[in-house]
Structure 1
């Protein structure tokens, strides 16, 4: 199975590449500047841009899955990659935790007092999620981490899944490491258990 990872040099992208490689998948790590990021998880990087239709079309030729783990222009990347995927390539989007909701349906990004410094990426990821949902189909999934406690840590291989509300542990905390988030995302590449919808993970 061949997987193209856009944003491969980011905190999440690096771990997704490493996890996919450890499973024996063929991975193409894509970055915008190969001089700054010549290698990721031992692999030579490939220059590309998730918002450039020509670049994306060339990179997806022969691919089975594409991961969007970019740090900006989320909706444009989603539109460009989904269009190039044309139903042939499964698109997995590293989404935002602030798009998750409370039991009453209120998204965390819409709560009073949401930190102003995170509003731009949170709104951008919310727009991307709305785009996927409007697109319909079953050729994508959007994976949200917990809204707050999401940081590099240990790879345990354990996680639980949910839909639109955070997955909490026995103490009521919603958390997961980047490493176990990558485990869940690569599991989704191979199993397609959440095709056509958003899901989330936590311990």
Structure 2
């Protein structure tokens, strides 16, 4: 399985890259700045995401989209996804690292986490951008996408346990009062879905049943 990771030097992308290597997949880092790549044994394509072409993507079985942009450039989330859907081959899987803000908080699916009164205001722009990406995917003619949301607490320092649960597009609240997933376990979940293809065309969440020891 040949995998391309867009944003392979970011927090999510870098751990997904390491997990891909650990599983001996053929992987290429698709990055804007090669100087940020921490390994020198990985093939890479240095290109701005908006300059990606169909030719660059045509040989990949799976594209993992871990693109991130904040502040004044948060609008790029939407623009990059619109561009990607114009050039991706209709036989190539697309797994998107999404956001928790896009998860529903009630069974009637009327309210999303980002729209709750206590959602941090400084995170709202990127949460709205992530939700825009999901809307674009749902309305597109491309069908092989999966949008994967971490849950409320996305923990960079959390251990790689290999124990995770795949949930729906509703925010889970566990017996410890909230929900967590480590970046490392999230990376495992992404690679498992790339291999197993269980949730094509769906928005899913990934969480741990136990709290992490930090």
Give the structure-2-normalised TM-score: 0.86
Cα shift at 1:136: 5.2
Unaligned stretches of 5+ residues in structure 2 = 70-75, 209-214
Q: Quote the residue 2:120 is aligned against.
A: 115
Cα shift at 1:23: 0.9
Cα shift at 1:40: 4.1
- In structure 2, what is the Cα distance between the partners aligned to 1:198 and 1:85? 19
Q: How does 1:102-141 map to 2 (within 5 A)?
A: 102-103=105-106, 104-105=108-109, 106-135=111-140, 137-141=142-146
Cα shift at 1:25: 0.7
Cα shift at 1:172: 3.2
Q: Quote the residue 2:73 is aligned against.
A: none
Q: How does 1:1-203 map to 2 (within 5 A)?
A: 1-34=1-34, 36-40=35-39, 42-52=41-51, 55-72=52-69, 73-103=76-106, 104-105=108-109, 106-135=111-140, 137-203=142-208
CA contact (8 A) 2:29 2:44 kept: yes
Instruction: Compare 111-120 and 163-172 and name the one that shifted more.
Output: 163-172
Unaligned stretches of 5+ residues in structure 1 = none
Deviations 1:8-37 (A, max 9, x none): 000000000110111111110111011x31
Cα shift at 1:113: 3.6
CA RMSD of aligned residues (A): 1.8
- In structure 1, what is the Cα distance between the partners aligned to 2:16 and 2:154? 18
Cα shift at 1:137: 4.6
CA contact (8 A) 1:8 1:40 kept: no
Give the structure-1-normalised TM-score: 0.91
- In structure 1, what is the Cα distance between the partners aligned to 2:115 and 2:191? 30
Cα shift at 1:41: 8.1
